[in-house]
Amino acid sequence: MKNIPVTEIIHHIETDTLHRFVFENTPVRGNLVNLTHTLQQALRLQKMPRGLRQGLGELMAASALLSATLKMNGSIVLQIQSKGALKLLVVECNAAFGIRATAKWSGDVQDEQNLFELIKDGQFIITLDPKNEGAEGSQAYQGIVPLEGDSISEVLENYMLRSEQIDTRIWLCCNGNSAAGMLLQKLPETMNQITHTHDLDTWNRVGHLASTITDEELLTLPAVTLLTRLFHEEDVRLFDASNTQFYCSCSRDSVANMLRMLGNKEISSIIEEQGKIEVNCDFCNTHYLFDKVDASALLMDETVLPGSKAVH
Ligand SMILES: [Zn+2]
């Protein structure tokens, strides 16, 4: 580091960051995100066709942008499900911008195939999980909408407008190694007619300015440079960045709980056939082995039946 000129450090892209910004005295706000190591770590053990990886990268960037706009102390899960060659894309982002992602597909998918060429009868599912059970208003929320649009940003913009009634513009891109995104949002309108017109003017103007952004700029420019270039006549306040990172929440306990949900009959039949239960986490590839004794313990934990100990 010590031989790099200061100017070069300042103008270097800040990878793995989430920046919030506001247009002063207006209801318009935004976020910028860059995922580089986060993306590479999350997908390092997952081999997937290039088009799918890019789609998943964009969805990861989107999850951080949306998580930053929803002030909740929990996780947001974005899923695209389809009956085409693509079966599932799933991304989870927690309140600390810990992100994990995975994809499932079938058949022969080519590198150059775009995500949307692989989707048939697709659904977009957003789940907000507050993670503090028992507190008031902390129930998980799930919204399911048909996939409308032919890009992830368009799908999300439609979702935000239809389901949340919030005007949102989203730009996303992923080159395979990095994913980046920008979100603009107009908070619900005020009742005052003069303010309302002013707000609408600002919203239209900054949206127009923002739409000149290129993928290259989004992927390579530091937040302050990018915002200055796009909105140099606007009064923009940029807040300190938060860091993003790869994070998988799987654990031996969570896998055990999932297995218990299969039920005693299913568990017994796997033990009988294989003498053990093996589970691989789709997100981080951690291998969980439950030998005969461990697996039998799962059975005993369910309902205490006098006969269940006979498995030993
Ligand atoms: Zn995991």
pLDDT, tens digit, 9 for 90 and up, residues 175-207: 999 999 999 999 886 666 667 777 888 999 999
- Distance (angstroms) between ligand 1 centre and the Cα of 38 equals 14
The whole-number average pLDDT for the span 223-227 is 95
Q: What is the pLDDT of residue 131?
A: 73
The answer to whether residues 213 and 4 touch, using CB atoms and an 8 Å cutoff, is no
Distance 99 CA to ligand 1 centre (A): 11
Residue 83 Cα distances to 23, 48, 273, angstroms = 42, 18, 31
Tell me the two tokens of residue 147: 């996939």
* 137 pLDDT tier (thresholds 50, 70, 90): low
Average of per-residue pLDDT across 233-237: 95
CA 247–ligand 1 middle distance (angstroms): 8
Report the distance separating Cα 70 and Cα 95, nearest Å.
9
Ligand 1 centroid distance, CA of 256 (Å):
13
Of 84, 120, 85, nearest to 106 by C-alpha is 85
Q: Distance, CA 39 to ligand 1 centroid (Å)?
A: 15
Decide if pLDDT at 103 tops 60. yes
pLDDT given at position 136? 54
Contacts with 159 (C-beta within 8 Å, 6 or more apart), sequence order: 124, 126, 143, 145
Identify the residue with better confidence: 260 or 170.
170
CA of 163 to the centre of ligand 1 (A): 31
Give distance in angstroms: CA of 229 to centre of ligand 1.
Answer: 40
Q: 258 alpha carbon to ligand 1 midpoint, in Å?
A: 13
pLDDT (mean) for 63-87: 92
Q: What is the mean pLDDT of residues 205-228?
A: 96
Instruction: Report how far ligand 1's centroid is from the alpha carbon of 93 (Å).
Output: 13
Gap between the Cα atoms of 128 and 79, Å rounded: 12
Identify any residues that bridge with 28 across adjacent strands, giving them in sequence order.
Answer: 186
Look up tokens 């103008």; give the residue: 11
Q: Of 128, 125, 170, 167, nearest to 152 (Cα)?
A: 170
What is residue 29's three-state secondary structure?
strand
CA dist., res. 41 & res. 44, Å (int): 5
Task: Tell me: pLDDT of 79 over 50.
Answer: yes
| 286 C-alpha to ligand 1 centroid (Å) | 6
Asked if 299 and 268 count as a contact pair (C-beta separation under 8 A), the reply is yes
Rounded to the nearest integer, the mean pLDDT of the chain is 88
Q: 213 C-alpha vs ligand 1 centroid, how far in Å?
A: 35
Range in 4-13, 140-149, 234-243 with the lowest mean pLDDT: 4-13
Of 188 and 215, more confident: 215
The Cα–Cα gap between 187 and 79 comes to: 25
* Percent of the chain residues past pLDDT 70, beyond the cut: 88
pLDDT at 163: 80
Total-model pTM: 0.87
Distance (Å) from CA 20 to ligand 1 centroid: 29
Which carries the bigger pLDDT value, residue 93 or residue 267?
93
Pairing of the two strands 179-186 and 167-174: antiparallel
Ligand 1 center–CA 127 separation, angstroms: 19
What's the gap in Å between 101 CA and the centre of ligand 1? 10
Q: For residues 43 and 53, is the Cβ–Cβ distance under 8 A?
A: yes
Q: For strand 167-174 and strand 98-105, is the pairing parallel, antiparallel, or unpaired?
A: unpaired
DSSP at 254: H
